Amino acid sequence: MSDALALSGIEKGYNHGRPNEINVLRGVDLSVKPGEVVALVAPSGAGKSTLLHIAGLLDTPDVGQVRIGGEDMTGLGDRRRTRVRRDDVGFIYQFHHLLPEFTALENIVLPQLANGAGRRAADRRAHDLLARVGIADRADHRPAALSGGEQQRVAFCRALANEPRLLLADEPTGNLDPETSDRVFAALMDLVRDTGLAALIATHNLELAARMDRTVRLETGKVVL
């Protein structure tokens, strides 16, 4: 079985050829298997967001190869990259980025409609996902009427709406208080375990990292197992 995500020799720098050139990633090798949840731990500014953006095809490496589901992403055109991001990758950020004019349910339905799903099927899946994270009763509320933890749970559901094979999360509970963070993280792990997808989750929280299958660290631009 192919790795859900495989990064080989990833290098990324900024201000190329200038005296102040910054080499953020220096030959990163990392793989995540289907059904595996991997914690990515790194200090601020170490390049974990850059690494996640490259893994999710939001950015391109200067050197190296990205494979998703065994398929080499190198050299793909914008249209194909967009399709892979839409179909195969789910993103969760520290701040939920929900659309404020739409309800919780609609925020989960919209990406499904954009992917060609029918409205009835999209509604069913959205309701099911909200029920799994314990906020089915908040389906008709707009984000402003939800707590921070509830908003982030909706963001989790939105990321999984199109049944991706890979989930990428950047400090998904970083803006929540410890009690809410623990509760919301448990909901995320339940979702991931239920669906069996691969997940790479960046976090500063070592207690949360310990609850994942394994932890890798990003140090001086390289992954340390």
Domains and CATH numbers, the chain: 5-224 (3.40.50.300)
**Residue with more model confidence, 65 or 20:** 65
- In which band, very low, low, confident or very high, does the pLDDT at 180 lie, cut at 50, 70 and 90? confident
Name the pTM for this structure: 0.88
Band (139; pLDDT cuts 50, 70, 90)? very high
pLDDT for 13? 82
Dihedral (C-alpha) 20, 65, 224, 179: value to the nearest 10 degrees? 90
What the block records as the tokens of 87 is 């179909």
Cα–Cα distances in angstroms (integers) from residue 32 to residues 13, 89, 188, 195, 225, in the given order = 24, 13, 17, 15, 13
pLDDT for 188 equals 78
pLDDT band at 110, cuts 50/70/90?
Answer: very high
Do 29 and 223 touch, CB atoms closer than 8 A? Answer: yes
Supply 80's token pair: 């194909």
CA angle, 117 then 123 then 128, to 5°:
115
Average pLDDT, the chain: 87
Instruction: Give the model confidence (pLDDT) of 18-38 as tens digits.
Output: 556 677 788 899 999 988 999
Q: Where are the alpha helices (DSSP H) in 41-165?
A: 48-55, 78-88, 104-114, 119-132, 148-159
| pLDDT greater than 60 at residue 206 | yes
- Alpha-carbon distances of 63 from 3, 130, 218, rounded to whole Å: 20, 40, 17
